Copies of this chain bind each other. A is one copy, B any other.
């Protein structure tokens, strides 16, 4: 039997000091499990900084579980013997992301996030998938029985890549966007009924793909909340900002849920991700036509310059933490990672939403496509529940993104960038004709070429 006081977690990435810190906080407060976290980052300084923060933690009295944080020599060192692997990387740097997001603007294409779909998301996936292929190969070699948790975007293509390269991998992808919608329902319950519910009490059935998830059931203590939601939308025709500032997505990136409400008016179904993500999966005429349209729907085009500033600030904080100048605050992270790990090791089964290959949970979508639904976590098992069917109108939008993601994953791994260009042309946020689109695509690839293993061959073929 597994010794739960001596687990090994391999943490790949973490240089952004965001997800890693969340995990540290949650591990420190959970007494049922203990062990070592092996930190692996191509930015060695970031790994060292995290290790020092971890060391300070272990000395504190208010910590119920003292984990050992070590910097791995290499990926073999990190993975060997790992029970759990957490992957949370930035594919490339914010310079590449700047090109992903802002170069298309010169062609009149606006993206609110640019990390999942659209021109930016597609090119980011071409960069990220080869990295995930590398992780999968090494996991197969050094810890094939480990559980792998992915936090990296583009979530779907990255997780799909893990399974394409190592089909027996026990991997799933985690994202907290759906939590934001559960929080919105908490607010609705509070406002309209005076009830203080917990997020977990808002039971939902989740269908779709990451960042384009839908709910066809929202229930509180057996009561269907759809009628309440309908009422709330009618009363908030101009949108409504979330008030629960605890959740990072609300505090940092303003949005008024107007896209979410508009989609409800279209389909009678609740879109579960934030507006900035939802908009990117729809025809550009709807929400992303131009900055005015974006503004009229009450959300923002997040500039990458903001992300750069934010990162600088986070590094500054990390330096203080790792030098002992500052203590880590035990905030409520809102994440479920530690609870998931516990369930997998036999400490409390539960249901939550994650990204997994389709094995029947959504019979309308292709088998093996990575999709997001509820899954039941129990001993050595993460098993999707049957989420059922989407209505035809939403289905058409979801099938499109599934096709795009399959093309892009295939393109990234085989170097068939023509296939990626097909996806690029097919994207709903692509108003250009073939010639202009090719120009943009080529320029975007060029700017990210150092992360593209097949770039030279592509350029050569194109010239021929």
Please list the residues of chain A having a beta carbon within 8 angstroms of any beta carbon in chain B. Answer: 1-2, 203, 205, 217, 219-224, 262, 265-267, 283, 285-286, 344-347, 349, 351, 359-364, 366-367, 374, 376, 378-381, 383-386, 388, 391-393, 395-397, 399-400, 403-404, 406-407, 422-423, 425-426, 428, 430-431, 433-434
B396 & A426 in contact (Cβ 8 Å cutoff):
yes
Chain B: CB-nearest residue to A432: B285
B359, B361, B403: the one within 8 Å of A392 (CB): B403
Chain B: CB-nearest residue to A392: B403
A422 & B217 in contact (Cβ 8 Å cutoff):
no
CA separation between A359 and B388, bound complex, in Å?
7
B425 & A266 in contact (Cβ 8 Å cutoff):
yes
| Contacting residues, chain B, for A396 (C-beta < 8 A) | 399-400, 403-404, 426
B360, B378, B434: the one within 8 Å of A386 (CB): B360
Known: A1-B223, A346-B221, A426-B393. A386 touches B388 (CB 8 A): no
| Contacting residues, chain B, for A399 (C-beta < 8 A) | 395-396, 399-400, 403
| Contacting residues, chain B, for A347 (C-beta < 8 A) | 221-222
15 residue pairs bridging A and B, Cβ less than 8 Å apart: A203-B379, A219-B346, A219-B379, A220-B379, A222-B344, A222-B346, A286-B433, A351-B376, A363-B363, A385-B386, A393-B423, A393-B426, A395-B399, A396-B426, A400-B400
Known: A381-B217, A396-B400, A422-B266. A386 touches B407 (CB 8 A): no
Q: Among the interface residues A364, A393, A430, which one has the most CB atoms of the partner chain B within 10 A?
A: A393
Known interface pairs A1-B223, A265-B434; 8 further A-B residue pairs with C-beta atoms within 8 A, sorted by A's residue number: A2-B223, A203-B349, A222-B344, A224-B380, A267-B422, A376-B385, A392-B407, A399-B399
B381 & A383 in contact (Cβ 8 Å cutoff):
no
Chain B: CB-nearest residue to A362: B360
CA separation between A360 and B381, bound complex, in Å?
18
| Contacting residues, chain B, for A376 (C-beta < 8 A) | 351, 374, 376, 385
| Contacting residues, chain B, for A362 (C-beta < 8 A) | 360
CA separation between A286 and B428, bound complex, in Å?
11
| Contacting residues, chain B, for A222 (C-beta < 8 A) | 1-2, 344-347, 379-380
CA separation between A399 and B349, bound complex, in Å?
31
* Minimum distance in angstroms from A457 CB to a CB of chain B: 19
Known: A222-B346, A222-B347, A359-B388. A403 touches B407 (CB 8 A): no
CA separation between A404 and B394, bound complex, in Å?
11
Chain B: CB-nearest residue to A218: B379
* Minimum distance in angstroms from A295 CB to a CB of chain B: 14
| Contacting residues, chain B, for A220 (C-beta < 8 A) | 346, 379
B392 & A406 in contact (Cβ 8 Å cutoff):
yes
CA separation between A199 and B392, bound complex, in Å?
38
| Contacting residues, chain B, for A223 (C-beta < 8 A) | 1-2, 346, 379
| Contacting residues, chain B, for A344 (C-beta < 8 A) | 222
Known: A359-B388, A403-B395. A381 touches B422 (CB 8 A): no
A381 & B219 in contact (Cβ 8 Å cutoff):
yes
* Minimum distance in angstroms from A152 CB to a CB of chain B: 23
A285 & B431 in contact (Cβ 8 Å cutoff):
yes
CA separation between A386 and B387, bound complex, in Å?
9
Chain B: CB-nearest residue to A408: B392
CA separation between A434 and B196, bound complex, in Å?
34
CA separation between A362 and B364, bound complex, in Å?
14
CA separation between A203 and B441, bound complex, in Å?
36
| Contacting residues, chain B, for A221 (C-beta < 8 A) | 1, 345-347, 379
B265, B383, B393: the one within 8 Å of A407 (CB): B393
Chain B: CB-nearest residue to A399: B399
Chain B: CB-nearest residue to A438: B265
Q: Among the interface residues A344, A422, A430, which one has the most CB atoms of the partner chain B within 10 A?
A: A422
CA separation between A360 and B373, bound complex, in Å?
13
* Minimum distance in angstroms from A239 CB to a CB of chain B: 14
B219 & A434 in contact (Cβ 8 Å cutoff):
no
CA separation between A222 and B2, bound complex, in Å?
8
CA separation between A367 and B391, bound complex, in Å?
16
CA separation between A266 and B424, bound complex, in Å?
10
| Contacting residues, chain B, for A388 (C-beta < 8 A) | 359, 383
* Minimum distance in angstroms from A451 CB to a CB of chain B: 24
* Minimum distance in angstroms from A439 CB to a CB of chain B: 15
